[in-house]
Chains A and B, each alone.
Chain A
Amino acid sequence: MPSFFNSWLPFIYLYVGGGLFFLAGLILIRKTKAIDMRLKRDRFWWKAMIFGFFYFMAIHAFLIIAALYL
């Protein structure tokens, strides 16, 4: 069984490290009004961006669990 160091730690590092860049991007586009939340189209993109982050997180988590326990 692979250790935590080689299974879940890369996952945590990726989503905490990458998550900081992602969050900075979300905050910046809201703060600069580059995304206009009054527009239906832009509201869709806001949700799509957040969905994407958790979508990849879920895929990776599933693959780790499958490798370790299936």
Chain B
Amino acid sequence: MEQIHNIGSELDWIVLVIYMVAMLLFGSYFAKYNKDTNDFFFGGRRFTWWLIAMSIVATGISSHSFVKYSAMGFKYGFSSSMSYMNDWFFVPFFLFGWLPIIIYSRIKSIPEYFERRFSPSARFFVTILQLTYLVGYVGIGFLTMGKAIMPLMPEHFTIFGFEIHVTLMGLIWVTAVITGIYITFGGQTAVIFTDLVQGLMLLFAGLMVFVVGVYYVGGWDSFWHLLPASWKLPFAGFNSPAEFNSVGTFWEDGIAGSVGFLFMNMGLIMRFMATKNVHEGRKAATINILFMLPISAIVVGGGGWVAKAISVKFPSLLPPDVNPDSVFVVVSNIITGPGVFGFVIAAIAAALMSTVSTLLNATAAIWVNDVDRPIRIWLKKINREAPVDEKRAMVVARTSTVAFTVLGVLAVYAFNSYPTVYQAHAFFHATLTPPLMIAIFFGAFWKKFTPAGLITTVIGGIAFMLLGNRYPLELIGPLAHGTPYDPVHPFTYMAALYNLIVCTGVAVLVTLSQNKLKHFAAKIKKNPNHTAIMYSMVVFSVVVVLIDILDAIFIFKIGSLGILFWATIFASAFVALITTFYVKYNAEAQTTGLTVWSIHKAKEWFKGRKLNEREGEIIKINWKLNESDDNDVINFSKKDMHKMSAEKGDLVYISDARKWLGGLKSCHSTYGEPHNEDGIVYLRKLHLGKGLFVEGKILEAEKEM
């Protein structure tokens, strides 16, 4: 494939640089809203749905980027939209299961949920999986960006007499440094607000390329009739070709990818945690999936679609062997003028920055909450109940952001062997998502799911997945629905189905065998040699998993499939037994408020008292300062409280009434003793500090619950 260089003009570079500098300045303005780690990571839990929905668009579009969907659009047509139109199936689980659980349980990270629901060891394993998932996602983002910018660059240039050859990895390192600086100082509020601008920019840029492209080939009729029927279908072929087919995309993207993105992408979860309440989170998710994703499908695939039409009508303009990952940039250069092309590239850069910044912010949150603090507790530097040292936590957050930026770039090396970004991303989803997806799903929706089930799913499930990777024809082949076998990247998509089946199988079998496992564990405990028995099980399991890893990664031939398969079954059984033996688990206490079966209880805990679910009005009021104390309560008049159906002790959300601020100037508090001055609310200094309310500006108040 031909790698194009030197496209674009000086004016395009000027536009690109101005845009980048403007975004950096805009983002750094919001650093003043970072009072503590809650603000840095969650934006103070204050924003309205439209701001979060737009932010999710900006975050989502880069990861399912212009580059990879235009490449697939160019090669296969409208079916490149499949990934944006198959996300609705898990909406009930998310809106009324996972979303309220994560918000009402007041967790700060997904691994923290696993400690409360299962055990510290569960948190440990999930932390490793989460960090790997997020770093991999950052790597995909950097790879995408590098491939997008590469066509603009010369093959080499000279600085101070040194000739520098432009390489993909060199370009990615430079991009990483810029993105790292941007997120390290801005925090979540900066990310959300820059996302708003960047989301609008990239929607506009993508739609512009599509509309201008259609006009370029002679209008809609000409565009439509230039393309063959098979190319206009919204689905790829059922099970072929190997690199892009419907059944594979269903399992890899519609199931593993949708759940991965919506349920376990800590970056996205933190967006929902930044909404002012669960209802706003539901609105943001719904609007995003129903309307923004279909529009995004046109935005990211449109470049490839018009490129195909141009290549049919003007074959001399677009080289037939153009690298598909460069097609969006190349076609944008053909159909737009100088300066406008720079804007389009700036939009792609914006898309990358918003996604990567979100993910880096999430990795930092996990590092602070799930690695740094637990290690300090373990080293006895602090006790478990010690409050968060905000100053230190912010330093750790920023340092870890830099470290994960570097790791993200290193992850690019693993994905760079795939012919397209689309396939690299599919491999990533199919491999990393299933164990964590099953862990979250069963953890949140199945009360009987135990720590043994969870840890065996992670260790045993991954061991079986590695076996599938080593023996794809034998293990994945029978489930592949007839998709062709590619010996270099075997069953990139259908591996997701096999991985889901083995992880689900392990989880269900271990959980249903819990009584038997407890019985065995009790028997072993009575044996005077129980320590030796348990250690030998640990050694056996570690050896088997190591052999599976060596076999899969280095393609060693240690043992036959039959021997390894049975050894993995025994190793999984031992892991289940070891976990049951060592991990203390109180099913009643550790499921209440943490599964979908007890959402009501979770709500009560969140509020700290009995619920008041009467639906009230949103009211507008003026504010006055009460300087007599600094308690976290807000006082309304009796009449206003009646309008809001509120009682003393209920939770209240109060914000600047200017809707366009999206909740930036707002805070949460509790209703205090009512007074008799209608239309007036008494705030304390701490509310002014959090909400940054402006004197004389009207506020809006609503009962949260």
Contact = CB atoms under 8 A, between A and B. Distances in A.
Contacts of B85: 56, 59-60
B255 A21 contact: yes
Contacts of B286: 48, 52
Contact of A19 (B89, B97, B224, B597): B89
Nearest to B255: A21
Interface residues of B, number: 41
Residue of A10, A41, A68 with highest tally of chain B CB at under 10 A: A10
B504 to A, nearest CB: 13
A33 B96 CA distance: 9
Given A5-B238, A14-B250, A59 B294 contact: yes
Contacts of A14: 86, 235, 246, 250, 254
Contacts of A64: 233-235
A53 B233 contact: no
Given A5-B238, A28-B596, A63 B78 contact: yes
B615 A53 contact: no
A22 B118 CA distance: 27
Interface in A21-45: 21-22, 25-26, 28-29, 32-36, 39-41, 45
Among B88, B89, B93, B290, chain A packs the most CB atoms within 10 A around the CB of B89
Nearest to B595: A32
Interface string B249-283: 01000110000000000000000000000010010
A52 B290 contact: yes
Interface in B78-105: 78, 85-86, 88-93, 95-97, 100
Given A34-B599, A48-B286, A52-B88, A11 B255 contact: no
A26 B247 CA distance: 24
Contacts of A36: 613
A56 B286 CA distance: 13
Contact of A13 (B100, B250, B289, B290): B250
B222 interface: no
A62 to B, nearest CB: 9
Contact of A34 (B78, B97, B232, B615): B97
Contacts of B238: 5-6, 9-10, 13
Report whether over half of chain B's contact residues are helix, strand or loop; otherwise say mixed. helix
A39 B611 CA distance: 13
Contacts of B246: 9-10, 13-14
B237 interface: yes
A31 to B, nearest CB: 9
B236 A45 contact: no
Interface string B195-232: 00000000000000000000000000000100001101
A64 B85 CA distance: 14
Nearest to B600: A33
A34 B233 contact: no
Contacts of A22: 88-92
B597 A32 contact: yes
A13 B95 contact: no
Contacts of B282: 45
A45 B280 CA distance: 12
Nearest to B245: A10
B445 interface: yes
Contacts of B96: 29, 34-35, 45
Contacts of B254: 14, 17-18
Interface string B278-301: 010010001001100010000000
Chain A interface size range: 35 or more
Contacts of A49: 91-92, 95
**Centre residue among B96, B250, B294, B615 by max chain A CB count within 10 A:** B96
Contacts of A39: 613, 615
Nearest to A17: B250
A48 B45 CA distance: 25
A34 B445 CA distance: 11
Nearest to B231: A67
Nearest to A8: B235
A7 B230 CA distance: 8
Given A22-B89, A25-B91, A33-B600, A67 B100 contact: no
A2 to B, nearest CB: 5
A60 to B, nearest CB: 5
A24 to B, nearest CB: 8
A68 to B, nearest CB: 6
A10 B91 contact: no
Contact of B92 (A29, A55, A66): A29
B596 A21 contact: no
Contacts of A48: 286
B237 A6 contact: yes
B255 A7 contact: no
A1 B397 CA distance: 57
B290 A29 contact: no
A21 B237 CA distance: 23
A32 B93 CA distance: 11
Contacts of A10: 235-238, 246-247, 250
Contacts of B91: 22, 25, 49, 52
A45 B95 contact: yes
B424 to A, nearest CB: 23
A52 to B, nearest CB: 5
A13 B596 contact: no
B289 A52 contact: yes
Contacts of A29: 92-93, 96-97, 596
Q: Which of B88, B286, B599 has the most CB of A within 10 A?
A: B88
Nearest to A9: B238
Given A21-B90, A45-B282, A28 B229 contact: no
Contacts of B100: 34
A56 B91 CA distance: 13
Nearest to A56: B88
A70 B445 CA distance: 45
Nearest to B614: A39
Contacts of B279: 41
15 contacts: A1-B229, A5-B237, A10-B236, A10-B250, A17-B254, A18-B254, A26-B92, A28-B445, A29-B92, A34-B100, A34-B596, A52-B286, A55-B290, A63-B233, A64-B233
Given A18-B250, A22-B92, A45-B96, 18 more contacts: A6-B237, A10-B246, A13-B246, A14-B86, A18-B88, A25-B92, A28-B596, A29-B596, A34-B97, A41-B615, A53-B88, A59-B85, A60-B235, A63-B232, A64-B235, A67-B233, A68-B229, A70-B224
